[in-house]
Amino acid sequence: MRLPKGFQFSQGSLQDYVDCARRFFLRYVQRLAWPAVESEPILESEHYAQLGEQFHKMIQQHLIGVPAEKISAMITAEELREWWENYLEYYRQQAMANQTQLFPEIILSAPIGNHRLMAKFDLISLQKDGSLVITDWKTARKPPQRIWLERRLQTRVYPYLLSKAGDFLNNNHPIYPEQIRMIYWFANFPDQPEVFSYDRKTMKADQERLEYLVEAIEMGDEKAFHLTDDKKHCQFCVYRSLCGRGIQASNLDTDEESVEDITSFDDRLDIDQIAEIEY
Ligand code: SF4
């Protein structure tokens, strides 16, 4: 498949391909904007997405040196205040101020197939013991299951890219997979972070899988980008009406099966931010 000039793979685009090849085709090859909402109720979902984005920006500001009190003074939404206080407590607990080096909102990329694979990290920290910790701030309303997180392309791509392309964050020394940990921290569930370690064997498996996915995308013709058989992925997809998979978006609050998709929705913020960056 001929991908748009300058196209770079991300965990988001690869996750789209794994969830539904058609969605990848519509979003990244045809670049089709479709006027459907991802979830109901619309205003609440948009409001929640804005809060999530604001929360990420507040943390970034704090980690580059803006005093916490100054940021706190600008908060007007109650939900955001609660997330912020949870974050500040986590920051204190983790003694982040004493860590060797913090790299918020850092972008890494490395070649893959005929393209590049890139990711924007919420935070990478180089610890005093020489280990590197990837922290991803999540504002999901329900904590996802660990097994589901483990399978997400984000959990596969981020440590892989840090080892492949992060030497400059480690004083130009190679980063071995065993040095890396990835933490998902949940603003609504601050005491339930999910931590994933990394190792050579896992990295090798990740590399093989990522190369396999990219090759499948590069080699496939349009017919290969078929609609997913798992209609659960359609519940929060903007292309529902185009694909004949329903008009009404699912409700984030009432749909008990939506836990995973809520997190996808949360991830979408990252994907959109990545898409805005020019190289
Ligand atoms: S509506 Fe369903 S089949 Fe169509 S692109 Fe979205 S996930 Fe794929």
Q: Which pLDDT score, from 0 to 100, does residue 38 have?
A: 58
Query: Nearest Cα to 181, choosing from 168, 166, 198, 164?
Result: 198
> What's the CA-to-centroid distance between 248 and ligand 1, angstroms?
13
Q: Is residue 129 classed exposed, middle or buried when 0-12, 13-18 and 19+ CB atoms within 10 A define those classes?
A: exposed
Q: What is the pLDDT of residue 241?
A: 87
CA distances from 249 to 84, 106, 139, 155, 261 (A): 30, 33, 20, 27, 12
- For residue 266, being part of any structural domain is answered with yes
Is the residue at 3 inside a domain?
Answer: no
Contact call for residues 198 and 158 (beta carbons, < 8 A): no
- Output the tens digit of pLDDT for each of the chain's 279 residues: 889 888 999 999 999 999 999 999 999 999 988 765 555 565 677 788 889 999 999 999 999 999 999 999 999 999 999 999 999 999 999 888 777 899 999 999 999 988 999 999 999 999 999 999 999 999 988 888 999 999 999 999 999 999 999 999 999 999 999 999 999 999 999 999 999 999 999 999 999 999 999 999 999 999 999 999 999 899 888 898 899 987 766 665 544 334 444 344 444 434 333 333 332
Task: Indicate the burial class of 278 (C-beta count within 10 angstroms; 0-12, 13-18, 19 or more).
Answer: exposed
- Judge if the beta carbon of residue 27 lies within 6 A of ligand 1: no
Can you give the pLDDT at residue 143? Answer: 86
Q: Is residue 1 part of a domain?
A: no
Nearest atom, ligand 1, residue 228 CA? 3
Give the helix/strand (H/E) hosting 200: helix 200-219
Q: Output the residue whose Cα is nearest ligand 1's atom 7.
A: 234
Which residue segment(s) compose the domain that 97 sits in? 8-275
Q: What is the pLDDT of residues 199-228, one digit of tens each?
A: 999 999 999 999 999 999 999 999 999 999
Distance CA 68, CA 123 (A): 17
Domain assignment present for residue 141? The answer is yes
Write down the residue that tokens 């949940």 correspond to.
Answer: 186
- The number of distinct structural domains making up the chain is 1
Q: Which of 17, 31, 243, 261 to mutate to test the pocket of ligand 1 (most atoms within 8 A of CB)?
A: 243
111 phi-psi bin (left φ>0, alpha ψ -120 to 50, beta other): beta
2 belongs to a structural domain: no
Q: Which residues pair with 121 in a beta bridge?
A: 106
Mutational pocket test of ligand 1: of 240, 242, 260, the residue with most ligand atoms within 8 Å of the beta carbon: 240
What is the number of the ligand 1 atom nearest to the C-alpha of 21? 8
| Predicted structure pTM score | 0.87
Q: Using a 6 Å cutoff on CB, does residue 228 contact ligand 1?
A: yes
Q: Is residue 104 part of a domain?
A: yes
Residues 172-208: tens digit of each pLDDT? 999 999 999 999 999 999 999 999 999 999 999 999 9
Check if the beta carbon of residue 72 is closer than 8 Å to that of residue 58: no
Residue 137 and residue 187 in contact, taking contact as beta carbons nearer than 8 Å: yes
Ligand 1: centre distance to CA 33 (Å): 13
Residue 156 lies in a domain: yes
Structure tokens at 271: 């994907």
CATH number for the domain harbouring residue 15: 3.90.320.10
